[in-house]
Structure 1
Amino acid sequence: MSKAPSTNATRLLKQAGVPFTEHLYRYEEHGGTAVSARELGVPEHAVIKTLVMEDEKGLPLIILMHGDREVSTKELARQIGAKAVQPCRPEVANKHSGYLVGGTSPLGTRRSMPIHAEATIFELDRIYLNGGSRGFLVGLAPADLDKVLKMSRLRVAIS
């Protein structure tokens, strides 16, 4: 594989002095976290997906979730005080984040958005999340990610 790309996400991590590893893999359209976990040889539970959603007013937010879990949008809405939350259409998510869907990172987004994370992510020693390009993940400690993003922790997973 080629050299890892320099992205807004990796530049932000370097600027913050956060130690991380770079992991390239062969991206498969609609393969999701199952493909990246398989290619990296790590549990899908440790691969964290970045989902761009919006509330009933169209205000965007990011939720970080284990790759092998789904988000309860009703529970998410309840916990953040919204009437409803739904995933953004891909073109809208791309516009808010500055990344292409399939390569969305919570780090270095084009637009500042509230970031919420499934609380159980912080029980893991190491997580892998998108580094800002399709086929590129970064590995780091959840506590280090929290230092950079200052996320709210919620319990919104559906197993």
Structure 2
Amino acid sequence: MARDKVPATPAIRLLKQHKVKFTPRPYKYEDKGGTRTSARELEVDEHNVIKTLVMEDEQKRALIILMHGDCEVSLKHLARQLSVKKITPCNPDRAETLTGYQTGGISPFGTRQQLPIYMEETIASLEKLIINGGRRGLLVELVPRDLTTILKPTSVSVAI
């Protein structure tokens, strides 16, 4: 991917539509490399790389949770905070159908279906964050305030 040419993903279009100042951060994608690979390739702290995880409750109601790259989601705490019995990750095919993005390239911006979005509360205190831009190997850097203005996520405390 040429550095000067940013792909027109739904996420990028949405950021531009909202006049968000962002920096494209392309990197060499590795299958199942996760945030560890992108942080290494971009030479940034993995804590500032935010993963977009598609989950569902026991009724198969889908949701997105945004989490620091170096943390895991406590599914028990998330279920408790959402007043549901159980939260589990969506299978990749369902996540792709719901969001319109390939696994490994799922962005919370511009998803095919509007899903409730939850965000680990400590993400808001980062100076800058790096999150998927809607394609494998493309992250975008922006300030948390812009993310919260567009997505209006519900804050949760579920990091482990």
TM-score class normalised by the smaller sequence: over 0.9
- The structural deviation recorded for 1:6 is 1.1
Decide whether the 8 Å contact of 1:72 with 1:156 is kept in 2. Answer: yes
In the alignment, which residue of structure 1 is the partner of 2:137?
135
In structure 1, how many angstroms separate the alpha carbons of the residues matched to 2:8 and 2:138?
10
Aligned positions, number = 158
Decide whether the 8 Å contact of 1:62 with 1:106 is kept in 2. Answer: yes
In the alignment, which residue of structure 2 is the partner of 1:126?
128
Q: Residue type matched to 2:78 in 1?
A: L
- Which secondary structure does the structure 2 equivalent of 1:65 belong to? strand
Q: Are residue 41 (structure 1) and residue 43 (structure 2) matched? A: yes
Match of 1:71 among 70, 73, 77: 73
- The structural deviation recorded for 1:4 is 2.4
- Which secondary structure does the structure 1 equivalent of 2:112 belong to? coil
In the alignment, which residue of structure 1 is the partner of 2:25?
23
- Which secondary structure does the structure 1 equivalent of 2:11 belong to? helix
Long gaps (5+) in structure 2: none
Moved over 3 A (4+): none
Deviations 1:47-79 (A, max 9, x none): 000000000000100000000000001100111
- Which secondary structure does the structure 1 equivalent of 2:139 belong to? strand
Match of 1:94 among 84, 93, 96: 96
Task: Calculate the TM-score normalised by the size of structure 2.
Answer: 0.97
In structure 1, how many angstroms separate the alpha carbons of the residues matched to 2:12 and 2:51?
17
In structure 1, how many angstroms separate the alpha carbons of the residues matched to 2:114 and 2:69?
23
In structure 2, how many angstroms separate the alpha carbons of the residues matched to 1:41 and 1:47?
11
Task: Calculate the TM-score normalised by the size of structure 1.
Answer: 0.98
In structure 2, how many angstroms separate the alpha carbons of the residues matched to 1:50 and 1:139?
14
Q: Are residue 10 (structure 1) and residue 15 (structure 2) matched? A: no
Match of 2:154 among 149, 152, 155: 152
- The structural deviation recorded for 1:81 is 1.3
In the alignment, which residue of structure 1 is the partner of 2:116?
114
CA RMSD across the alignment: 0.7
- The structural deviation recorded for 1:82 is 1.1
- The structural deviation recorded for 1:20 is 0.5
Q: Residue type matched to 2:155 in 1?
A: R
- The structural deviation recorded for 1:88 is 0.3
Decide whether the 8 Å contact of 1:100 with 1:133 is kept in 2. Answer: yes
